[in-house]
Amino acid sequence: MTSRWTNEAAIRQWNTSATRESMEAMAENGDFAKRNLVNPALLRLLGDVHGRRVLDAGCGNGYFSRILAGRGAQVVGVEPTDNMCAFARERETELGQGVTYVQADLTRMPDLGEPFDAVVCSMVLMAIPDWKPAMRACVAALRPGGLLVFALVHPAFEELWGSWREHGEYRVRRYLEEYEVVGLAASDFHRPISAYFNELASLGCRLREVAEPGLDPAVAAEMEPTTPGIDGYVHLPNFLIVSAEAPA
């Protein structure tokens, strides 16, 4: 059940979980899954960002904004939590990459000026209880034909690691329902894949590519002794990464 959740309550939970230690640990390239699975797919689907105006929607500690700025993009990061937004701004003061951080809820997007060539929204839509206005705001921020790239924990394999470790396969019981997925940092909200693709279609977007990256078997073999169950990431995709064009 997701009905007891408001977007404000979800943001408060993210703010509480964003400790200095956790933000420092993931400040460069994100966590293991981001480094090995999500970042390469996002960057490939975004293509050459040099000189492009890019919005990092729900940017968290800002690590991906910094990666994009390092590749020559003009980046605006939007993040609603006090802690992560302050951390991202602090890093910007140190690095001077020219990234602008705006503290805002995507479902109440402020005016961000000129339209964007691309919007990246990584691991955010499934963190928002009432998420459709957020996807709508991402598409509205684009220039005609601009590119939306979003990453989700794959709705068909959300609890992959735990399930694989316990059963040696993936088990799912309630795919078609909407429900809260309690996470280590904060809750996500399960909804079927069709919810995301149908919303994209209703916004007039044209699907360009869907990526379901698998883990390199050599990386999994190295980690298996200390991280039992990681082998599941080789066989099933824990992340769904989508690129689509805004209406022309």
Interface residue list for ligand SAM (CB under 6 A): 7, 10-11, 14, 30, 58-60, 63-64, 79-81, 84, 105-107, 122-124, 127-128, 134
Min dist. Cβ of residue 227 to ligand SAM (A): 20
Q: Which residue, 20 or 173, is less far from ligand SAM as judged by CB?
A: 20
Sheet with strand 239-245: strands edge to edge:
100-102, 74-78, 53-57, 116-122, 142-153, 239-245, 206-211
Q: Which residue, 49 or 128, is less far from ligand SAM as judged by CB?
A: 128
Residue of closest CB approach to ligand SAM: 60
Rounded to 10 degrees, what is the CA torsion of 5, 161, 151, 207?
-110
Min dist. Cβ of residue 5 to ligand SAM (A): 11
Q: Which residue, 132 or 235, is less far from ligand SAM as judged by CB?
A: 132
Min dist. Cβ of residue 67 to ligand SAM (A): 10
How many other C-beta atoms are found inside a 10 Å radius of the C-beta of residue 79?
30
Min dist. Cβ of residue 79 to ligand SAM (A): 6
Distance in angstroms (rounded) separating the CA atoms of residues 84 and 61: 5
Q: Which residue, 92 or 105, is less far from ligand SAM as judged by CB?
A: 105
Distance in angstroms (rounded) separating the CA atoms of residues 141 and 113: 9
50: left (phi over 0), alpha (psi -120 to 50) or beta: beta
Query: Tokens at residue 1, please?
Result: 């059940």
Min dist. Cβ of residue 148 to ligand SAM (A): 14
